């Protein structure tokens, strides 16, 4: 039986709102969008099935027009933190059982997250810049990876690497890896050119393949060492652009003992960063100036992170870094949507804050759709949105519990990637089973899973 779509009100039709609305529409939800910009609303109405209302999301009249009193979820993602918080507070006056989510980016507000949640009744406060900074920091702690996603409260990682020419994995099957190198990791996806596969044991790996695998942080480093990758964290980082994301990232890196240099154009922002980050080196100037990049040590640093407000500048910085330096390059993309074209440039690691935000909110929406048996806790889109990695909390007995995995009638195009039980990560075999209380991760080419039983035919 098809799951009932939720009634969701979204305030804000900017970059994040646009991405979010399109993703939620694909999931079959009943959407109402509020924004003052009529042109943006018309674009969204052309793209997906949604009701658009022009106006102020903090207006009592506008909120009443949306039918928010009957809504399941309210999301405020305008450019203003204060407006987002106000909209959520007012929406709760219509319906005190309403789940509300606010985008909040200001570090001063972020420090008050616990207070805002408890006193204003906000279920989730999402900060795209902070989430992007966390993702970037993971990559700098493990620079051999193209991406690193965290599951089971940080106990398990989904890591993406590319197999280089002449590597030990070149020409080896997935089964050979488990039998002769290590069985502590599980390959859950392989990208070869434009093709994506969830591999079985007989799948033969080749140089140039981009593989994604599950492991614990400890076994991950051991695996990478075994196959000849450098596992040393970066010791220095050059950040170009001194915005909010740069502040969050620099703060995380400095606390981990990494030397940080930031290049920022605006004089007032440079002074602010000097106050906020006394242990960082702040350089005033244009981050696209080659002479300044040389002065900042682009040829000698371990990593360069492009965080300017212009995607084109970030892309050029990444390409320049790869041309003149062996540094790990990370590029933030804010607006550009040509993901296949960007991937073809082979920039290294690319971060999309709007997608990170959308995934967090969609996880929350799916959890509200699920039955009591299991909840979706974390969801990431993978391989240019061709697959999803979903982590579920198993809350009660169901058709998937107490049965050996080999006896489950699974849908095609998915793999059970790990079971987290009592603080231990289990890379499952056919003789393992799922128990109540477990967290279970699934990588699937089937979209829209809201509960663990969705893996069954």
Question: To the nearest 10°, the Cα dihedral for 213, 219, 220, 222?
Answer: -130
Residue 94's closest CA among 72, 77, 124?
Answer: 72
Domain range annotation of the chain: 7-126, 145-226, 236-351, 366-455
Show the beta-strand stretches assigned E in 193-255: 195-197, 210-216, 236-240
Q: Is CATH 3.30.70.1450 the right assignment for the domain spanning 145-226? A: yes
Q: Give the span between the Cα atoms of 182 and 226, in whole angstroms.
A: 9
The answer to whether residue 91 scores a pLDDT higher than 70 is yes
Tell me what pLDDT residue 385 has. Answer: 83
216-238: pLDDT as tens digits: 988 999 999 999 998 889 999 99
The answer to whether residue 372 scores a pLDDT higher than 70 is no
Look over the chain and give the mean of its residue pLDDT values, rounded to a whole number: 93
296-338: pLDDT as tens digits: 999 999 999 999 999 999 999 999 999 999 999 999 998 877 7
Among the ranges given (16-20, 37-41, 99-103, 112-116), the one the predictor scored with the smallest mean pLDDT? 112-116
User: Could you check whether 7-126 and 145-226 share the same CATH topology?
Assistant: no
236-272: pLDDT as tens digits: 999 999 999 999 999 999 999 999 999 999 999 999 9
Tell me what pLDDT residue 119 has. Answer: 83
The answer to whether residue 290 scores a pLDDT higher than 90 is yes
The answer to whether residue 194 scores a pLDDT higher than 50 is yes
Tell me what pLDDT residue 1 has. Answer: 45
397 DSSP 8-state letter: -
The answer to whether residue 339 scores a pLDDT higher than 90 is no
Hey, which CATH number is domain 7-126, 3.90.1150.10, 3.40.50.720, 3.40.50.150, 3.20.20.70? 3.40.50.720
Contact 380, 449 (CB under 8 A): no
Residue 331's closest CA among 358, 312, 354, 344?
Answer: 312
Q: Give the span between the Cα atoms of 261 and 309, in whole angstroms.
A: 18
Q: Specify which of 328-337, 344-353, 363-372, 391-400 reaches the highest per-range mean pLDDT.
A: 391-400
Of 151 and 121, the one with more pLDDT: 151
Distance, first Cα to last Cα, the chain: 12
- CATH class name, domain 366-455: alpha beta
Q: How far is CA 363 from CA 34, 214, 371, 375, 449, in A?
A: 22, 20, 14, 9, 10
Question: What is the percentage of the chain residues whose pLDDT exceeds 90?
Answer: 81
CATH code for residues 236-351: 3.40.50.720
Residue 171's closest CA among 207, 223, 208, 225?
Answer: 207
Tell me what pLDDT residue 109 has. Answer: 82
Tell me what pLDDT residue 341 has. Answer: 82
């Amino acid at each position: 039986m098809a799951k009932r779509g939720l009634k969701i009100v979204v305030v804000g039709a900017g970059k994040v709102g646009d991405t979010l609305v399109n993703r939620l529409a694909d999931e079959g939800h009943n959407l109402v969008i509020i924004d003052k910009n009529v042109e943006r609303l018309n674009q969204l109405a052309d793209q997906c099935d949604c009701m658009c209302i022009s106006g102020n999301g903090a207006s009592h009249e506008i909120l009443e027009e949306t039918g928010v009193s009957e809504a399941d979820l309210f999301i405020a993602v305008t450019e203003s933190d204060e407006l987002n918080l106000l909209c959520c507070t007012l929406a709760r006056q219509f319906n005190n059982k309403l789940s509300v989510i606010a985008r909040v980016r200001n570090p001063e507000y972020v420090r008050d997250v616990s207070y805002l949640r408890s006193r204003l009744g906000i279920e989730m406060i999402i900060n795209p810049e902070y989430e992007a900074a966390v993702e970037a920091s993971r990559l700098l702690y493990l620079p051999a990876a193209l991406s690193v996603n965290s599951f089971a409260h940080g106990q398990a990682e989904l890591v993406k690497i590319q197999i280089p020419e002449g590597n030990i994995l070149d020409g080896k099957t997935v089964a050979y890896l488990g039998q002769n190198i290590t069985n502590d990791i599980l390959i859950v996806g392989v990208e070869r050119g434009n093709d994506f596969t969830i591999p079985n044991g007989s799948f033969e790996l080749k140089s140039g393949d981009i593989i994604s695998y599950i492991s614990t942080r400890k076994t991950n480093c051991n695996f990478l060492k075994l196959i000849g990758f450098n596992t040393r964290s970066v010791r220095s980082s050059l950040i170009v652009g001194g915005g909010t994301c740069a502040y969050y990232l620099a703060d995380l890196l400095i606390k981990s003992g990494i030397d940080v240099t930031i290049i920022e154009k605006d004089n007032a922002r440079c002074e602010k960063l000097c106050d906020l980050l006394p242990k960082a080196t702040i350089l005033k100037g244009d981050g696209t100036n080659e002479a300044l990049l040389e002065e900042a040590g682009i040829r000698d640093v371990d990593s360069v992170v492009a965080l300017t407000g212009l995607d084109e500048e970030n892309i050029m910085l990444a390409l320049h870094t790869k041309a003149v330096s062996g540094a790990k390059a990370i590029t933030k993309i804010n607006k550009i949507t040509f993901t296949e074209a960007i991937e073809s440039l082979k920039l290294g690691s690319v971060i999309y804050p709007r997608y990170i935000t959308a995934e967090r909110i969609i996880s929350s929406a799916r959890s509200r759709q699920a039955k009591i048996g299991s909840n979706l806790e974390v969801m990431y889109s993978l391989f240019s949105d061709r697959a999803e990695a979903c982590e579920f909390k198993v809350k009660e007995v169901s058709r998937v519990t107490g049965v050996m995995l080999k006896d489950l009638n699974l849908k095609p195009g998915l793999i059970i990637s790990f079971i987290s039980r009592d603080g231990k990560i289990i890379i499952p075999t056919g003789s393992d089973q799922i128990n109540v209380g477990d967290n279970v991760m699934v990588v699937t080419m089937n979209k829209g899973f809201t509960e663990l039983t969705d893996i069954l035919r």
